[in-house]
Amino acid sequence: MTDDTIGGRGVNAPDVVRRDLSTEALLTVRDLRVEFGKKGQRPTTAVDEVTFEIRRGEHLGIVGESGSGKSVTSLAIMGLLPATGVRVSGQIMFDGEDLLAASEKRMRDVRGRDIAMIFQDPMTSLNPVVTIGTQISEVIRGHRDMGKAEANERAVELLRKVAMPDPGRRMKEYPHQLSGGMRQRVLIAIALANEPQLLIADEPTTALDVTIQAQILEILKQVVADTGTALIMITHDLGVVAGLCDSVHVMYQGRVVESAQRRPLFAEPRHPYTGGLLASVPRLDSPRGQPLKPIPGSPTDVLPWTQGCAFTPRCANRIDTCTEKTPALKIEGQRALRCFNPLTLSSAGGATP
């Protein structure tokens, strides 16, 4: 990478085909279903029928509001869901191996080496009592046969790669001595330490200010591009996805309701929820005075998927079928959609060019 793409003023050229996507899937998630339930309580289904695949080098976005199951999906892939009170079913094929069937020991090898993750809150995701250096080098040494000094060197190099100023000194510092943006860089450095094939970023910028968010996204883009790592970007910020991802999956209440390549998705959202999201978010570039069209109700107004479409109570497009049958995810060409009465092109309130 070159300095001028990140520092000062950078220009992102329109690169529609930015990456060389291999055709073979790196990760295939099929019919993932996660149920939570303590003994004696009715289990709640947090994630259901989630199916997607990601190829090497691909950037995949998962969008949805709070509680829609984005994090649970990613934790399921990492095998980090709590050991008790959870039932996971389906298939998570990673590089030909079903991770759901893998032993804990095997998962330890995979985590941090083949698949890495960045979490939402940089303030709490670093251990406050361990130096930055140790937190980076431990993941290197945990997966590679490497001496302390060598691991430290590599850590410094990683910090430099995420544009951490004065990386040598930072090694000895503790998380509280860093700002939020810098901590997120450390977390990125940790995630990329072993050049994983897949990086899952769970809302990596939500907790940050816009100017910092821009820095972080830029760094993330750079390092991922450099290493050819596939990226799953989880976010509720449609703007982030718009500039970053090749394909986008929109989740609502644990299920994917729409997935498509990003351009068609933003240009013509078909699911009323996707459309609603796009229409309800104020846009910086929209002229003042243009009213927002909120999605009515609140995320707690839901119908269980078993009784129809979960979005029905808030849906302006609902028809009687919506409460009679459960919609299935139907693939229409490049797009998958879970809706009985999708938006037509004209009614889509979303993207204005």
Ligand X SMILES: Nc1ncnc2c1ncn2[C@@H]1O[C@H](COP(=O)(O)OP(=O)(O)OP(=O)(O)O)[C@@H](O)[C@H]1O
Residue 287 engages ligand X in binding (rule: CB under 6 A): no
Binding-site residue total for Mg ion (CB under 5 A)?
Answer: 1
> What would the two tokens of residue 230 be?
């596939």
Query: Which residue from 65, 269, 238 is spatially nearest to 260, judged by alpha carbons?
Result: 269
Residues 6+ apart with CB under 8 A from 260: 247, 248, 334, 335, 336
Whose structure tokens read 């079928």? 321
Options 21, 242, 323, 329; binder of another protein; rule CB under 8 A: 242
Whose structure tokens read 């009784």? 307
For residue 173, the minimal CB distance to another protein (Å) is 9
Residue 68 engages Mg ion in binding (rule: CB under 5 A): no
Q: What are φ and ψ of residue 324, in 5° steps? A: -100, -40
Residue 46 engages ligand X in binding (rule: CB under 6 A): yes
Q: What angle do CA 345, 346, 352 make, to 5 degrees?
A: 85
Residue 71 engages ligand X in binding (rule: CB under 6 A): yes
Residue 71 engages Mg ion in binding (rule: CB under 5 A): yes
**Pairwise CA distance, residues 169 & 167, whole Å:** 5
CB count, 10 Å around CB of 88? 16
- Where in 311-350 is the site for another protein (CB under 8 A)? 313-316, 350
Options 57, 61, 64, 350; binder of ligand X; rule CB under 6 A: 64
x/- track of binding to another protein for residues 39-78 (CB under 8 A) = --------------------------xx-----------x
Residue 67 engages ligand X in binding (rule: CB under 6 A): yes
- Where in 224-263 is the site for ligand X (CB under 6 A)? 236
State the residues that interact with ligand X by CB under 6 A: 36, 46, 64, 66-72, 82, 236
